[in-house]
Each structure stands twice: as structure tokens, then as C-alpha cells.
């Protein structure tokens, strides 16, 4: 996808361990000639730079974190339970909430991965009332215009949304990758734990 307005803005307001799989999947949109820029927490930056040094990163809550709506075609977002609640209530007291809500206000497509708020410290919710509360928050955010995007389906969803075709044709385009190196989530997490740089060959496929 060529032109000025081909940037996808990733807003990943998450701890380093949780942000790595999101970055790992999101970077694949570059295969369709989108540009990807990621806004992440300060503590996540060194971890991401060790494994994916070429990705364009900016720190949330820094003065230069503003963006030009004219330059982006979509926002990808993955946030915590706390941030999901803020979005549902329209509260813009954090940069990530401000960017997401302002994008919705301006009619910019926003794709939300709601899988992270469903898990807290590695465990699903054992309190049904709390589970229902956060499920309502999710539905409220969707009513504001956010589109749910599922883990493992980022590329298929983005291709179908902007380049057209069915889900099946999008999936078919993604498997045309013979002869390329495959980098998995496990490879990335292993590199992060060992504090070693992961070398990614040109045209490598980033996959779960």
C-alpha cells in the first residue's frame, strides 16, 4: 500500500513481556507495504530494541508522542484492563487513551486486541461479576467504533480491511512465503530472556 497515508500506529500500553507478542504479530503488516510505528512504555523499549532494532518506536507519555492523523490509516491497540475501562468511560488522562479515543473521534479505523484484559497475572477471572464488568467495558469500546482483532489474525484482518477480498483469500496470500525464514514468538521470547539480539533475515516471516 503506497502513499503518504500508509502508516499503521500500534499503541501497546503493556509491560515488556506482554508487548513482545503484540509487536511480533503487528510487524507483519509491513508485508503489505504499510509502515508500522509502535508507541510503547519506556521500560519496553530496551527489550524490543534488542530483538527488533529496526522497528520505529516511540515512548508513550513523552512530549514527542503526538501524531499527525493525516499520516495514519489505522490504529492497532492492545491495552490493560485499566486502560480498557478508561476507554469505555471516555477518560483521556493517559496518552494511549487519548490517541485511541481521538482516532475514533476523527473516524480513523481502530483495531483493538481485547485478549490482554481477559487475563490478569497469567490467570483468567474467577469472579463472574468482575468478568461481566470488563466484558461490558469491551462491548462499550466496540460501540464507540473500535473493531475487535483477534490474536493470530492481525494480518488477515488488516489485509481484508484495506486490500479487499475474503478471509480465505487473505489467508491464502499469507501462506505464499516459500523460501523465507520463519521467526516465532518462542524465538523472540528466548532472545529477550537471554538479552541477546535476534537477527531477522530480510523477508523473514514473523509468526506465532
CA distance 134 to 19: 20
53 Cβ neighbours under 8 A, 6+ residues apart: 197
pLDDT at 175 over 80: no
What is the tens place of the pLDDT at every residue in 101-121? 999 999 999 999 988 767 777
Q: Quick: pLDDT tens for 77-90.
A: 998 888 999 999 99
Q: What is the mean pLDDT of the chain?
A: 81
Q: How far apart are the first and last CA of the chain?
A: 24
Checking if the pLDDT of 208 tops 90, the result is: no
State mean pLDDT over 55-63: 86
Q: CA–CA distance from 5 to each of 8, 119, 170 (Å)?
A: 9, 34, 22
Alpha helices, DSSP H, located in 10-127: 16-26, 45-51, 81-89, 95-106
- What pLDDT is stored for residue 202 in this prediction? 56
**Which DSSP letter does residue 142 get?**
H
Residue 100 has pLDDT above 70, yes or no: yes
* Residue 179 binned pLDDT confidence (cut-offs 50, 70, 90): very low
Amino acid at each position: 500500500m503506497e502513499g503518504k497515508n500508509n502508516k499503521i500506529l500500534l499503541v501497546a500500553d503493556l509491560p515488556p513481556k506482554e508487548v513482545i507478542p503484540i509487536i511480533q504479530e503487528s510487524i507483519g503488516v509491513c508485508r503489505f507495504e504499510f509502515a508500522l510505528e509502535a508507541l510503547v512504555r519506556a521500560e519496553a523499549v530496551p527489550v524490543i530494541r534488542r530483538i527488533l532494532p529496526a522497528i520505529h518506536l516511540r515512548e508513550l507519555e513523552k512530549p514527542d508522542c503526538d501524531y499527525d492523523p493525516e499520516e495514519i490509516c489505522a490504529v492497532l491497540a492492545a491495552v490493560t484492563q485499566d486502560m480498557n475501562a478508561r476507554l469505555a468511560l471516555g477518560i483521556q488522562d493517559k496518552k494511549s487513551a487519548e490517541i485511541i479515543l481521538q482516532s475514533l473521534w476523527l473516524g480513523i479505523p481502530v483495531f483493538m486486541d481485547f485478549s490482554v484484559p481477559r487475563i490478569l497475572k497469567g490467570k483468567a477471572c474467577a469472579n463472574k461479576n468482575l468478568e461481566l464488568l470488563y466484558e461490558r467495558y469491551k462491548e462499550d469500546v466496540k460501540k464507540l467504533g473500535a473493531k475487535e482483532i483477534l490474536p493470530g489474525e492481525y494480518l488477515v484482518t488488516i489485509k481484508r480491511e484495506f486490500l479487499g477480498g475474503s478471509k480465505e483469500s487473505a489467508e491464502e496470500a499469507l501462506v505464499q512465503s516459500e523460501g523465507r525464514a520463519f521467526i516465532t514468538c518462542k524465538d523472540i521470547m528466548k532472545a529477550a530472556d537471554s538479552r541477546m539480539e535476534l537477527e531477522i533475515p530480510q523477508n523473514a516471516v514473523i509468526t506465532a
